[in-house]
Structure 1
Amino acid sequence: MRYVFRQQTEHLRSLLRSFPAVLLVGPRQCGKSTLARRLLPGWTHLDLERPADLAVMAADLEGFFDAHPRSVVIDEAQRLPEVFSVLRYVIDRKRGNGRFLLLGSASPTLMRSVSETLAGRVALVELTPFLASELAGTARASDRWFWGGFPPVHALREPGARGEWLNAYVSTFIERDLPALGLGLPARRLRILWTMLTHIHGNLLNVSDLARSLVVSSHTVAGDLDVLEGAYMIRRLPPYHANVQKRLTKSAKLYVRDTGLLHFLAGLRRPRDLATWPRRGASFEGMVIEELAGLTAHRLVRPELFFWRTQAGAEVDLLIVEGRRILPVEIKLGAAVNQYAVAGLRQCMKDLGLKRGWVISTASERRRLSPGIEIVPWSEIASGKVELF
C-alpha cells in the first residue's frame, strides 16, 4: 500500500517549529507512527510497546534524555507516565523548539500528565483515520464510506479480511488496550454498549435509556461513554446555546466516529448491505461531520463543532464555529433538496443572524437554493478543496 499524504503533516511540522514538544494523539492504528517516521526519518524512534524500548527508557530516564536531548519520537508515551515529569525538567533546563514528538492513544493518564506537567510546553494534534479528502484520487476513495478510514483496512482487498480486521480491532481494544491503560471495564458490557450506539448514531443521546437496557446505573454508562470518547471511538456533539428567545435542546448527539466500525458493529458485512440499512442517512451524516471536523482542525484557529435544535424540533446538523464566525450546515443524503427540507436551516440563520448556510448533499454541482443558502456537493467536500469561510 502506497503512502497516503496526511493533511495534518504541515500543521504538525509548523507546531514543531513553535513548541519544544508536540503530542500527536488519535485512535490506535490510525497512522501516527507511519506519519512520524515519514516526517522525521532522522530522529530516534522508540515504541514503548516494545519491551526492549520500554526497558531502555525505564532504566534511567534522565540518563536517556542526557544522551538524547532532542530529535526523539516516543510512541505510546502513556505506557511510561514518569516520562512527562522528566521531560518538563529536560525542556526547562535547555529551551529550544522541535525537540520531542510524543505519540499516544488517549487515556486519562496521558491527558492528565500533559495538562498538569507539560502545560505551555507541548502542542496537541489529533490524527484521525484516513479522511475522504486524503483518499481522493486513489483507488480506495470509493471504499471510504462503507469501510471507514483505518489504514490497515485499506491495505486489505477482500471484504472478509477487512471484516476480520475490524472484529479483531474491537476485541483488542476492549480486551487488551483498555486494561493496559488501567481501565478494566467488563468487556461484554462495553461491546454490547458499543453495538447499541450504532442504533442511536446521529440521534440525541439518552443515557438513562441505555442504562435501563444494560441494567446498570446511568453513572456507569456515562463512565463507559467517557472511555469510548476519550479513545476517539465516539463523538458526543454538543448543542449550541445562544442568547435567543427559544428553548434549545440540552442533550448531545451521539456518533460512532469511524463508519467502518459503525457498519461492522451494526452487522453490515458487505457494501451492498448499506443500501437497505435504515441508518444509512445517519451514517452519511456522521461521515460528513468527521470530514468537516478534520478539515477545520488544520484550517481554522480553535474551531468548535455543535448542532442546533429547538424544543419545537427545528434542527441543523452542524454548526462550525471559529470565534464569532458561524457556518450552519445541513446534511442530506440524496441529490434532491427543496425549500421544505431546509426549514430548520433558515430558522437557525434567522435566530442567529447568519447570512449564509450550506446544505451538503450528493448533488453533482454547487448551486444556490435561496438567498444565503448553497447546496454543496459531497464530492467537493471529499476533494478537500472547499473553502469554509
Structure 2
Amino acid sequence: MYINRSMESTIKRIEKGFKAILVTGPRQVGKSTILKHIHGNRKYVTFDDPVLLSETKSEPGLFFRNNKPPIILDEVQYISELFPYIKIECDKTEEKGQISLTGSQQYHLMKNVSESLAGRVGILELSGLSLREIQGIHFDKPFIPDEAYISAREKEFKIQNNVWELIHRGGYPALADDAVDWQTFFSSYIQTYIDRDINALGNVKDKLKFTQFLTALAARTGQMLNYSAVASQIDVSVSTVKEWLSLLEASGIVYIMQPYSNSALNRAIKTPKIYFRDTGLVCYLTKYQTADTAMNGALAGALFETFAVSEILKSFSNAGKDYRMNVTYYRGKDKLRRKENGERTERETEIDLLIEQNDIIYPVEIKMSANPKLAMTNAFSLLDQIPGKKRGIGVILCMYESVLWLKDDIVALPVEYI
C-alpha cells in the first residue's frame, strides 16, 4: 500500500524549474517509489541491475539512444560514466523535469552532480516516513515554531497514542506493513547496507568490526561525538572511526549536527553531536526488542530526542529546505545554577536545538516528560547576548498532550506538533 509522501508536492514544484531532479536518501526510504507514483507512465531503469550496469559502463554514449527521456534512473551513484551524457540530454531541450534520478550514496554522487549537472539539477533529500505521513496529515511547513506555525499546526494536530511503538519500529516504509517482521527487516537491511553501500563507498574489510562500530555509535545517538571512546571500545584507530563515520553520514544513516557558533558565545563547546536518522535502527542495534523495553531502557531519553530531531529534519527536507546551517545545538562552559532536591547545583549549559530563520533564533528543549516546567528553559536567555539576532519563541517538545504557554515567549508543545 502506497503512503502519500509530503515531498510529492515539492518534487512537482522543483521539476518546474530544473531539467533534471535528483532524490537522494538512505536505502529503502522510497525514492524510486515516490518518483514512480508521480510519473506513473515514465520509463524506469535501475542500475541495481548488474547486466544493465555493465553494459552502460562499457558504452555510456549509447544509453540515451535506447532510453529516451522522460525517464527515471534509479541508483545512479553506480554509473558515474553516464553523468556527462545526462548533461548532454539536459542541454538538448528547454523542457523541464525530463530526467528523474535517485541515489542512495551522496558521497560520490554529489561530486558527479557538481561537475556535470550544475544549474541543471534540483537536489532533494528523502528520509523515512515522518509522523505527519503516518498520520495522513497534509501540513507541509518546516518546523519553525513562531506563532503562525503553532496556530496553523493546531488545525491538523493529532495525538499519537502509540508513539513509542513508532519510535521502536522506525520509519522505513516497508515496516508500515505490520506483516513485515521487524527483526528480519533490520537484519537484512544491515547485511545489504554493508555489502552494497559501504563496500561501494569504502574498502571495509572487517564486516564484524564495522557492525560493532555501528552498534557502538547507536548507543551514543543524541550525544556529543567522542571519537577516542568509540575507537577504544571497538579496538580500532581514531582515523578509522572518522573514516567509517563519514561513510555512515554520506549514506544517510547518521546526521552530524554542528554546534552553534558565534563570537558572542565564547564559552561554547565546538564538538558536534551524532543522531541516527532512524530510531528503529537504533533499537535493533542496541537490542531493544520491544517498544516497552525501549521506553524504559537507559537510552529512552536519547531515543526520544533522536526521534524529535529526525522529525524536525524531515519537516525541512520534505519541504525542499536545507537545514544544515539552520538547525544546530548549543553547549557551553557557562555554569547554569539551579536547585535540585533542595541543593544548589552547577552544570554546563545546553540547548538541545537552535533553529534559525531570518536572524531569529528559536531555542528548543526536547524532554521525554509529560510535565514541562519553565526551569527547563533557563539556558534560553544566553541567546540574548548575540548581537544582530533576536530570540524567538522558546519551545519544550514533550509528551504533554496539548499546547501549554509557560510565559509569553515560552511554550510546551506535544512532540506531534512537529
Q: CA deviation at 1:364?
A: 1.1
Does the 8 Å CA contact 2:377/2:394 hold for their aligned counterparts?
no
Does the 8 Å CA contact 1:362/1:377 hold for their aligned counterparts?
yes
Distance 2:4 2:384 in 1: 36
Question: Which of 353, 362, 377 is the equivalent residue of 1:318?
Answer: 353
2:364 corresponds to: 329
Q: Which moved more, 1:305-314 or 1:253-262?
A: 305-314
Matches within 5 A, 1:145-294: 145-157=167-179, 161-294=181-314
1:346 corresponds to: 381
1:384 corresponds to: none
Q: CA deviation at 1:154?
A: 2.1
Matches within 5 A, 1:360-375: 360-375=397-412
- Which residue identity lines up with residue 132 of structure 2 in the other structure? S
Please list the CA deviations of residues 213-254 of structure 1 after superposition, one character each: whole Å capped at 9, or x if unmatched.
233221111111000011111111100011314310100011
Distance 1:137 1:16 in 2: 24
Distance 1:156 1:134 in 2: 16
Please list the CA deviations of residues 2-25 of structure 1 after superposition, one character each: whole Å capped at 9, or x if unmatched.
211111111111111110111101
- Which residue identity lines up with residue 368 of structure 2 in the other structure? L
TM-score, structure 2 as length reference: 0.85
Distance 1:245 1:361 in 2: 27
Distance 1:337 1:167 in 2: 38
- Which residue identity lines up with residue 176 of structure 2 in the other structure? H
* DSSP-derived class of the 1:157 partner: coil
Does the 8 Å CA contact 1:302/1:322 hold for their aligned counterparts?
no
Q: CA deviation at 1:31?
A: 0.6
Distance 1:97-1:356 versus aligned 2 partners, 3 A rule: same
* DSSP-derived class of the 2:255 partner: strand
Does the 8 Å CA contact 1:69/1:99 hold for their aligned counterparts?
no
Distance 1:337 1:246 in 2: 30
Q: CA deviation at 1:147?
A: 0.8
RMSD, aligned α-carbons: 2.2
- Between the two proteins, what is the percent identity of the paired residues? 27
Distance 1:7 1:355 in 2: 26
Distance 1:58 1:221 in 2: 32
1:113 corresponds to: 112
Does the 8 Å CA contact 2:403/2:412 hold for their aligned counterparts?
yes
Does the 8 Å CA contact 1:234/1:256 hold for their aligned counterparts?
yes
Distance 1:322 1:124 in 2: 21
- Number of residue pairs matched? 378
Does the 8 Å CA contact 1:163/1:264 hold for their aligned counterparts?
yes
Q: CA deviation at 1:375?
A: 0.8
Distance 1:338-1:245 versus aligned 2 partners, 3 A rule: same
Distance 1:289-1:212 versus aligned 2 partners, 3 A rule: same
1:100 corresponds to: 99
Q: CA deviation at 1:184?
A: 3.3
Distance 1:301-1:262 versus aligned 2 partners, 3 A rule: closer
Distance 1:40 1:300 in 2: 19
Distance 1:9 1:355 in 2: 30
Distance 1:91 1:299 in 2: 25
1:306 corresponds to: 328
2:415 corresponds to: 378
Please list the CA deviations of residues 194-224 of structure 1 after superposition, one character each: whole Å capped at 9, or x if unmatched.
1011222111111122122233221111111
Distance 1:221 1:86 in 2: 37
Distance 1:33-1:187 versus aligned 2 partners, 3 A rule: same
TM-score, structure 1 as length reference: 0.91
* DSSP-derived class of the 2:22 partner: strand
Distance 1:149 1:365 in 2: 24
Please list the CA deviations of residues 272-314 of structure 1 after superposition, one character each: whole Å capped at 9, or x if unmatched.
2113211101101111111111112244754321011112311
Distance 1:193-1:55 versus aligned 2 partners, 3 A rule: closer
- Which residue identity lines up with residue 255 of structure 1 in the other structure? Y
Distance 2:304 2:206 in 1: 31
Please list the CA deviations of residues 29-55 of structure 1 after superposition, one character each: whole Å capped at 9, or x if unmatched.
101111111001111100111235435
Indicate the structure whose relative CO is greater, using CA pairs within 8 Å and at least 6 residues apart: 2
Distance 1:181-1:210 versus aligned 2 partners, 3 A rule: closer
Q: CA deviation at 1:104?
A: 0.8
2:42 corresponds to: 43
Distance 1:183 1:112 in 2: 19
Q: CA deviation at 1:340?
A: 1.7
Distance 2:416 2:192 in 1: 34
* DSSP-derived class of the 1:170 partner: helix
Distance 1:250-1:123 versus aligned 2 partners, 3 A rule: same
Please list the CA deviations of residues 171-191 of structure 1 after superposition, one character each: whole Å capped at 9, or x if unmatched.
221133322445435212211
Please list the CA deviations of residues 149-186 of structure 1 after superposition, one character each: whole Å capped at 9, or x if unmatched.
0111222436xx21111111112211333224454352
Q: CA deviation at 1:86?
A: 1.3
Please list the CA deviations of residues 368-387 of structure 1 after superposition, one character each: whole Å capped at 9, or x if unmatched.
11231111111222xxxxxx
* DSSP-derived class of the 1:216 partner: coil
